[in-house]
Amino acid sequence: MASLIENLHHKRLDKLGINIRTYYVSKDQVLVRNTDNSQNQPVIAGIRHKKEYFKDGKLLSSELNFDSRIAYTYVSAKNVLAESDESNADFTCPNCGVTGPIKAFADSCPYCGVNYNIDFNDNDNSDKKGYDLVYRNSFYKLIYLIVDLAISLLASTAFIRLTSKTFNSIDIGKCFIYAAIMTAILYLIFYVNDTRGKSLAYFYYTRKKEAKNEEQRAFWARSGINKKEFYNNYIYELSHYYYGNENNIIDFDIIDYDELKDYRKDNRNFIEIKAYIRLVSLINGKIKSSYVEESSTFMHLHERSIRLENGINIMRCPSCGASIDATSKECAYCGKPIGPLHSWSLVKTSH
């Protein structure tokens, strides 16, 4: 059973002849999953390591940068049942909240159809901080370039003055040539050191980054909101937003969650979230990646309390009040959609 979101995504990929192969690292193993279902290994708390984009079997592009704090689990008969020795033990879908015997989730959630869930770890990760520092901070890179150029010019000029009897236009030209070469070398050295967390600037920046992470930890502790539940709803709703509209987007990844803010309005709870997202598009037969800072607002709908029992699962239609099966998509009496069962719904988004 595939969810609406998966159908939207796979339909787009199939139409374009695209297969996305994703590599996950889980328990010292590298596991592979493909959107064309050619090879899908069960993944438990796996960290995304690499993505490859194929068109008609030909590799077009790959991505290596991901938020290593996000862990993915893909539900299957093998790994779901492995979580418990008893097939009747309780299992709760992290996206829509349906709870029932674990054996009912062997292939996917019987209500929303999602076959994965994500978790967000607060652990420090030097690779992630190196990515934030080197790739996201354009001002930082510009400052380093200016400093490298200034040092290189001074060093080149001093070298020419000490080793040459003259200092004419030719010598000045040599200064700029030597400075350009030296700047490139210094910039590469600083780049490598920063991605590995070995420079003073890195430690200064990561202290600021850790302060921002601490604010997010305090947000979840203060608000009492289920973090795992919200992030799963966030991915689910964002997928519907991107794959349910006409555009060239074939994939997206959350690179970082930058800011969280909650408030109450009209007796409803809202969360505003700012995230740094990579959008992957197919344009004129080529894969193009772009990065956006996206702001989204989510509204809390209801508490999730649907429970699956053996046989028919009853709930009330929100439109007419009739008794309906919880796994149905619409009311058999009035014909209206049952609506989302998950707790958080996307209200608006912009970038």
As a whole number of angstroms, the distance between CA 95 and CA 117 comes to: 7
Question: Which residue, among 110, 107, 82, 104, has the nearest Cα to 91 in the 3D structure?
Answer: 104
Strands 99-101 and 58-63 turn out to be: unpaired
- Local structure of 61: helix, strand or coil: strand
Angle among Cα 289, 291, 295 to the nearest 5 degrees reads 140
Question: Which residue, among 161, 159, 151, 157, has the nearest Cα to 183 in the 3D structure?
Answer: 151
Q: Beta partners for 250?
A: none
Q: Tokens for 181?
A: 């070469």
Torsion angle of C-alpha atoms 281, 282, 286, 289, degrees rounded to 10: 0
Instruction: Tell me the pLDDT of the chain (351 aa) as tens digits.
Output: 334 445 678 889 999 999 999 999 988 889 999 999 888 888 888 889 899 999 999 999 999 888 877 888 876 544 545 544 545 567 677 666 667 776 666 556 666 666 666 666 655 444 455 445 555 556 666 777 788 888 889 999 998 888 887 788 888 888 899 999 988 888 777 655 554 444 555 565 666 667 777 888 889 899 888 888 888 888 888 888 898 888 899 999 998 888 899 999 988 899 999 999 999 999 999 999 999 999 999 998 865 444 444 444 445 666 676 766 555 567 778 887 766 666 788 898 887
